[in-house]
């Protein structure tokens, strides 16, 4: 959890108060403000333009165990992996975690850090004190929503930037195969040249063949 992340009071649940009232099921719904989402994603190049939301159900179980499940909805944008223009990211995700009182974690705390991330027990979160910090859990999920790779609205058709000089290739006509700035050959899409089958069709098509000759000359 990031130390500079502002607290989101609506996601801090006073368990002691719930238990005093004999409550064993509790719903939490909260808006995730733009500033807070931006703070949760501050280590990335994501741009947040609208608030998100989260809806969680807490089941209070014996011995301080709290099962949390629900869903988070958010949208943000990241630079397109090819052309760097904004690419929309749908960060909607389900949330599932089990909170356990942290007393035992003090004894074998270091062992927790060796947990295999793929292990189910990684979903176990230790907590201390009477207040459950669901904002930390949600912030972690927000950070995990950052995609490995995203494409702008052009999708796979995005031609990206010239690998030699950075020229924006999406501004070129689809059949142009030379960068107008550095005159290097550029692929029709970054998936490189069309597969062989397509190339054969191109040669069968007199118009396309003539066009590609012009470009190569």
Q: Which residues pair with 94 in a beta bridge?
A: 71
Residue closer to Zn ion by CB (options 106, 156) is 156
Whole-number minimum distance, CB 159 to Zn ion, in Å? Answer: 8
d(CA 170, CA 85): 11
Whole-number minimum distance, CB 170 to Zn ion, in Å? Answer: 7
CA distances 46 to 34, 42, 75, Å, are 12, 8, 10
Whole-number minimum distance, CB 145 to Zn ion, in Å? Answer: 20
The tokens for 174 are 């689809």
Are the C-beta atoms of residues 209 and 202 closer than 8 Å to each other? yes
Whole-number minimum distance, CB 124 to Zn ion, in Å? Answer: 40
Binding site for Zn ion (CB under 5 A): 80, 82-83, 152, 158, 162, 164-165, 167, 179, 181-182
Residue closer to Zn ion by CB (options 40, 169) is 169
d(CA 112, CA 106): 10
Residue closer to Zn ion by CB (options 52, 82) is 82
Q: Chain centroid to CA 136: how far?
A: 16
Residue closer to Zn ion by CB (options 104, 193) is 193
């Amino acid at each position: 959890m990031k130390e500079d992340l502002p607290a989101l009071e609506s996601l801090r649940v006073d368990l002691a108060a719930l238990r005093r009232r004999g409550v064993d099921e509790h719903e939490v719904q909260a808006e995730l403000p733009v500033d807070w989402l931006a703070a949760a994603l501050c280590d990335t190049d994501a741009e947040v333009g609208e608030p998100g939301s989260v809806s969680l159900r807490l089941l209070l179980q014996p011995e301080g165990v709290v099962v949390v499940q629900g869903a988070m909805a958010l949208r943000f944008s990241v630079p397109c992996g090819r052309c760097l223009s904004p690419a929309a990211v749908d960060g909607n995700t389900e949330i599932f975690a089990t909170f356990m009182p942290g007393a035992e974690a003090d004894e074998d705390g270091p062992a927790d850090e060796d947990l295999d991330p793929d292990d189910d027990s990684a979903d176990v979160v230790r907590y201390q004190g009477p207040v459950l910090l669901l904002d930390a859990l949600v912030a972690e999920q927000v950070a995990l929503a950052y995609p490995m790779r995203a494409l702008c609205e052009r999708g796979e058709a995005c031609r990206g930037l010239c690998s030699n000089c950075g020229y924006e290739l999406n501004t070129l006509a689809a059949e142009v195969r030379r960068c107008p700035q550095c005159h290097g050959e550029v692929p029709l899409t970054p998936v490189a040249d069309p597969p062989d089958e397509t190339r054969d069709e191109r040669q069968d098509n007199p118009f396309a063949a003539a066009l590609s000759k012009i470009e190569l000359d």
